[in-house]
Amino acid sequence: MDQILEKLFESVPKVRLLRLFMHTPDRYFTFREIVERTQVKPSAARSALSKLVKITLVREKKITVKSEGQKAALSLKKKKPEKQRKITAFIVNPDFWFLAELRDLVIKSSVASRKRLTRQVKTLGKVKLAAISGIFLNNDRSRTDLLIVGDDIGKRKVENLLTQLESELGKSISYTLMDTDEFKYRMNMYDRFLRDVFEFPHEKLINAILK
């Protein structure tokens, strides 16, 4: 047990891979996808992955996929069978003996500090409201994961922050960005999207606009 825990949490790359697999336990990932999603160097990702396989948390399997680079057949010609190839992919082992507890722990600690996230959002511009839901609260039905309302907020800054958060979470984050005037207008019109955000589980990190 102690050795398994040591192997699980011994490095940042390992933690990022854990988050990726725990958030999407029923999906196969190629090595390239793992590197792209976690933003971990290939050598570090390979080392971390081999250890997760060794303790049987992750399974390695050959899967069949369509070959890349195939040209589309002309509609008047008889279509040729699509070429396929086998590649190595990785998926969570559903029989890992404390998978449920580990997944719960990883999801709850995905964004370790709300204060840190709040500080990061404040640097984006004149933020009047920031609310999290969805992936941050383990709610797959949410309309958006992050709602940001404010002025003079650079979209590039927001996307850079999301890239960082996605590499930590191992999962894509949907976000909604509005200026103050648009937000007030939509609130006054009882906008369905905003009603869904605020009527379902959410958490306000910054609130200088709603009473």
Together in a domain, 171 and 203: yes
Residue 164's CB is within 10 A of a number of other CB atoms, namely 12
Together in a domain, 14 and 57: yes
How many separate domains does the chain show? 2
Together in a domain, 20 and 48: yes
Using one digit for the tens of pLDDT, what is the confidence trace for 33-87? 999 888 889 999 999 999 999 999 999 998 887 765 444 333 445 556 667 788 8
Together in a domain, 101 and 21: yes
The three-state DSSP-derived secondary structure of 31-57 is: HHHHHHHHCCCHHHHHHHHHHHHHCCC
Together in a domain, 197 and 159: yes
Together in a domain, 31 and 120: no
CATH of the domain at 160: 3.30.460
Which string of DSSP letters, residue by residue, matches 10-35?
Answer: SSHHHHHHHHHHHHSTT--EEHHHHH
CATH of the domain at 91: 1.10.10.10
Instruction: Point out which residues pair with 132 in neighbouring strands.
Output: 146, 203
**Residue numbers of the domain that contains 48:** 2-66+75-108
Could you give the C-alpha distances from 173 to 10, 29, 163, in angstroms and in order? 26, 18, 9
Together in a domain, 44 and 136: no
- Kindly report the pTM of this predicted structure: 0.63
Using one digit for the tens of pLDDT, what is the confidence trace for 120-136? 999 999 999 999 998 88
